[in-house]
Structure 1
Amino acid sequence: MTPRLPVLVLALALTAGAALAQVPEPEGFRGEPYRAPLPATLAGAHVIDDAEAKALHDKGVPFLDMLPRQQRPDNLPEGTLWNAPPHRTIPGAVWLYDTGYQQLAPAETARLADGLALATRGDKTAPVVIFCKADCWMSWNAAKRAVGLGYTAVNWYPRGIDGWQDMGGELVVTPAGP
């Protein structure tokens, strides 16, 4: 019976992998949980892998980081001082925090629109790379919004900082963008 166990584990892993690859694109924007398997596509955007991300980075294409700001933990005792840890991202990336949620407040909508305009110098045909972490819907939502705003060269990097690190890329501390 023991020789069958590895075969069963492999079969289950392949089945799970096939299910993950078939996540459909939602019609609107994705909400909680934001850390979940992603679709392989994003209508109107080009989905890029690690090698393409590196090549675009080397060409100087703007990278936009959509990770949210870290919030103060709920379980800290009253009066405890808390400082958010430094944000680490792909070198040269602009951090447009809190712009990948399902619903955005006007300030976050403006931060995304302003960040895209600055990164592309107002040229909606200029390429940008939008990312966060692997299995994170924040970048998918933001890239979908960029397409909706009329940007035609949106590159979505679904592996984000995880993929960047996996291929040996460094991360740097960055301040928040516009």
Structure 2
Amino acid sequence: MKPAAVLIAILLAAPAHGQTVAEPDGYRGEPYRAPVPATLAGAQVIDTARAMDLHGQGVPFLDVLPRKKRPENLPPGTLWVEEVHRTIPGAVWLYDTGYQELAPAETARLTEGLAAATHGDPSAPVVIFCKANCWMSWNAARRAVALGYSAVNWYPEGVDGWTAGGGELVVATPDPLP
């Protein structure tokens, strides 16, 4: 694609200045990296200062960025090195739980991860994040609300906002849930 075409595509994908992104009726699919709404019905939308405050209070953080898997079309014998994933310290990485549609394993990972993080208390606070302008955290936080969690904090700035605010990141390991 030519540079001018790329610029036009970016401009068309971004909301006009001052225009807001509406919450969809369902879950959002591709492209996941796009402007997100400023709201999420049933959840509290938080900024970096509030995220850091909640982190300091020990509120559980759930990272829903996908896990990069070995491509299925790699020839046999091809070396595959999994990309290092960095996250907010203490966050539980519930990878692949922010897609528009979830397979049973990802649904279980999210529901069991939420239950473990909140010790089975749906009124306990939790922070759900990924990266800035990424619908995966919006989808996962919306699912948490749909599952009956009443203190969901959606952090739309995610790891990008965290580092911009002076926070450190650590190497994540996938949560061992199914």
Q: What TM-score bracket applies, with the shorter chain setting the length?
A: 0.7 to 0.9
Of stretches 125-134 and 79-88 in structure 1, the one that deviates more from structure 2 is 79-88
Partner amino acid, structure 2, of 1:118: A
Who is 1:165 aligned against? 163
SS at match of 1:64: strand
Partner amino acid, structure 2, of 1:53: A
Consecutive unaligned residues in structure 2, runs of 5 or more: 1-14
Residue pairs, 1:23-172, within 5 angstroms: 23-72=21-70, 78-172=76-170
| Separation in 1, partners of 2:18, 2:75 | 45
Give the superposed CA RMSD.
Answer: 1.5
Structure exhibiting the larger radius of gyration computed from Cα positions: 1
Per the TM alignment, residue 16 of structure 1 is displaced from its structure 2 partner at its CA by 3.3
1:17 counterpart = 2:17? yes
Consecutive unaligned residues in structure 1, runs of 5 or more: 1-14
| Separation in 1, partners of 2:72, 2:18 | 37
SS at match of 1:130: strand
Residues 70-111 of structure 1 deviation map (CA, whole Å, 9 limit, x = unaligned): 133578665311021221100000000000000000000000
| Separation in 1, partners of 2:75, 2:166 | 39
TM-score by length of 2: 0.87
| Separation in 1, partners of 2:158, 2:27 | 19
Residues 95-143 of structure 1 deviation map (CA, whole Å, 9 limit, x = unaligned): 0000000000000000000000000000000000000000000000000
| Separation in 1, partners of 2:160, 2:45 | 16
Partner amino acid, structure 2, of 1:16: A
Distance 1:17 1:75, change over 3 A: farther
| Separation in 1, partners of 2:74, 2:18 | 41
| Separation in 2, partners of 1:17, 1:176 | 38
| Separation in 2, partners of 1:76, 1:17 | 43
Deviating beyond 2 angstroms after TM superposition, the runs of 4 or more aligned structure 1 residues are 71-79
TM-score by length of 1: 0.87
| Separation in 2, partners of 1:138, 1:54 | 21
Per the TM alignment, residue 56 of structure 1 is displaced from its structure 2 partner at its CA by 0.2
Per the TM alignment, residue 37 of structure 1 is displaced from its structure 2 partner at its CA by 0.4
